[in-house]
């Protein structure tokens, strides 16, 4: 008897991510996912209850994992700017390393207007908001709308990945975005 195999689940997720990130939900065929994962179509239904469940599971799991990593960084003891830098670097690297995943989770919001997904996207911004606020409290940052600035960050990362210059290196992208944030947030400091 074969054992329930997490490798198979991962293969399905990997195949699905590739499909979902390059085409909208309704254009992705389960046949294709199964074929790409080299499993039977029925196998997909052993691990996920529906195509929608497969999609949501991927987005939510991925989002949650990414959020957890960012939250861990956000809890760092270093000064706000160092922490923020690390977080931006982490997010950008993650996005460059997992372009499929990133496209998928970032477009999941517009692609399918699920409240749970919109909330997640907001959470992604808000995790940066935490650090921005701390920086302000500590007199390190200056910003009248930290929650709005926080939302800019994933938005700019998205713009970098999707529309940025083709040959842009990830670390260049990080530095560029950080320079914007620094200028804006640490106005006073710079003088």
Partner DNA sequence: TATGAATGAGCATTCATTCAT
Partner DNA sequence: CATGAATGAATGCTCATTCAT
* Residue 46 binding DNA, by CB under 7 A: yes
Stretch that binds DNA, among 27-35, 71-79, 112-120, 134-142 (CB under 7 A): 27-35
Residues 78-117 that bind a second copy (CB under 8 A): 103, 106-107, 109-113
Which residue in the set 2, 7, 115, 165 belongs to the binding site for a second copy (CB under 8 A)? 165
Quick one: which of 69, 86, 140, 172 contacts a second copy (CB under 8 A)? 172
Q: How many residues bind a second copy (CB under 8 A)?
A: 47
Question: Residue from 17, 19, 21, 29 that binds DNA (CB under 7 A)?
Answer: 29
Per-residue b/e over 30-67, b at no fewer than 16 CB within 10 Å?
Answer: beebbeebebeeebbeebbeebeebbbbbbbebbeebb
51 binds, among a second copy, DNA, none (CB under 5 to 8 A by kind): DNA
Site of interaction with DNA (CB under 7 A): 1-5, 8, 26-31, 38-43, 45-47, 50-52
């Amino acid at each position: 008897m074969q054992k329930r195999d997490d490798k198979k689940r991962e293969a399905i997720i990997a195949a699905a991510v590739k499909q979902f990130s390059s085409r909208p939900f309704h254009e992705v065929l389960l046949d294709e996912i199964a074929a790409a994962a080299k499993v039977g179509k029925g196998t997909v239904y052993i691990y996920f209850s529906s195509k929608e469940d497969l999609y949501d599971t991927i987005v939510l799991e991925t989002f949650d994992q990414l959020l957890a990593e960012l939250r861990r960084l956000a809890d760092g003891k270093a000064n706000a700017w160092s922490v923020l830098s690390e977080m931006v670097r982490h997010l950008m690297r993650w996005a460059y390393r997992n372009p499929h995943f990133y496209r998928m989770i970032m477009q999941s919001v517009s692609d399918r207007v699920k409240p749970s997904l919109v909330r997640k996207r907001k959470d992604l911004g808000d995790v940066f908001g935490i650090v921005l606020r701390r920086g302000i409290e500590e007199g390190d940052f200056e910003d009248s709308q930290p929650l709005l600035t926080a939302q800019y960050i994933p938005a700019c990362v998205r713009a970098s990945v999707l529309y940025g210059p083709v040959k842009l290196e990830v670390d260049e992208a990080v530095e560029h975005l950080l320079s914007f944030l620094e200028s804006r947030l640490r106005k006073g400091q710079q003088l």
